[in-house]
Amino acid sequence: MKVLVFGAGAVGGYIGGALLAAGIDVTFLVRESAVEGLRDHGFHLTDYRGLDLTLSEVPCVTSLSQVAVPADIVLLTVKCTGVAQAAQELSDWISPTTRVICFQNGVGSKSIAAKTIPSEQLLSGMVPFNVLYGECGHLHRGVEGELKVERHPTLEPLLEAWNRIGIPALACDDFESVAWGKLLLNLNNAVNALAGVPIVEELSQRDFRRVLAACMKELLAALKSAGIQVDIPDTPASILPWVLILPNWLFQRVASKMLAIDHLARSSMWEDLERRRTTEVEFLNGAVIALAERQGVSATANRKIMDLVRQAESAGQGSPGITAQQLVSKVL
């Protein structure tokens, strides 16, 4: 089985690197600027539980034309903003039997890819954890979570490999509920990006949690109106916003598992702001706004959060470092 990772950033490098470590034939499509670093350092995969893997040799190319045989499986791990272009490039390269797994935040990336790739060749995937890309190829997974993919027999070797290397992974049938559940949790991405502090520090402050809870309530109301179920681990989705607004002392007891994350972990949107890249806020909070508009319900908090992120993008100064009290006054 041959696997191509299209978009070997933090997430693509991590889940693809894990497959490579497990013995799968993996090639990484990377930018020209990344080739020298990969050849010098390879990948160094770590996680919050103590995983420590060094991959000194990482097969990489800078163009699909450098890959002699189309892959059996493509892990499409570009940002939502890059899906359309990536799908266009892949459409002329993949074989009729290739399966492309769309691993994006938010919802709708598979629909975008389906404009140029036959829908029967597309599958959805969900990575629940964040990965920070450090120096010398260091990729660090800071939080727990099960990687999920749409059920398909072709993917069984990948699931086995991920689980064997230490990344919990499983197949599921109702991926719509999984995608919306991931989006519900990903609403913290923007809050964390605006705060500019590690996630555990952010979630330890009630006012930040109040803003996140407001955004979640809007999404849950829109989903209920649309008749869409939500799948998240451990806690019923409807309860989560109420847990978030508990006083700090009680939240720390009730939601201790939520705070049991690496002290370095931050959201990918924070990293986008720091690196002066376009964020995925349109596909996260923007997706809430779009669904709410279709259902005729309010999404005021998500709209204000999206406006603040766009302002930070335009300023080009990284995270604005908004305090919890400031964010409450701007959003609630």
pLDDT above 90: percentage of residues in the chain: 81
Phi and psi of 60, rounded to 5°?
-140, 150
**Which of 158, 173, 188 corresponds to the end of one domain?**
173
pTM: 0.89
Give yes or no: residues 129 and 200 share one domain: no
Q: Which of 216, 213, 243, 242 is nearest to 230 (CA)?
A: 216
DSSP secondary structure letters along 94-135 = S-TT-EEEE--SSS-HHHHHTTTS-GGGEEEEE--S-EEE-G
Per DSSP, the three-state class of 168 is coil
Q: Which domain holds residue 274?
A: 176-331
CATH number, residue 119: 3.40.50.720
Euclidean distance between CA atoms 238 and 230, whole angstroms = 9
- Token pair of 287 as six digits: 């997706």
**H or E element that contains 2:** strand 2-6
The three-state DSSP-derived secondary structure of 7-60 is CCCHHHHHHHHHHHHCCCEEEEECCHHHHHHHHHHCEEEEECCCCEEEECCCCE
* pLDDT per position as a tens digit, 134-182: 898 999 997 788 999 999 999 999 999 999 999 999 999 989 999 999 9
Give yes or no: residues 52 and 156 share one domain: yes
The mean pLDDT of 303-328, rounded to a whole number, is: 98
DSSP 185: H
Give yes or no: residues 34 and 90 share one domain: yes
Give yes or no: residues 32 and 123 share one domain: yes
Strands 99-102 and 122-126: parallel
**Which of 133, 156, 173 corresponds to the end of one domain?**
173
Give yes or no: residues 195 and 168 share one domain: no
Give yes or no: residues 164 and 222 share one domain: no
Give yes or no: residues 26 and 157 share one domain: yes
The count of domains in the chain is 2
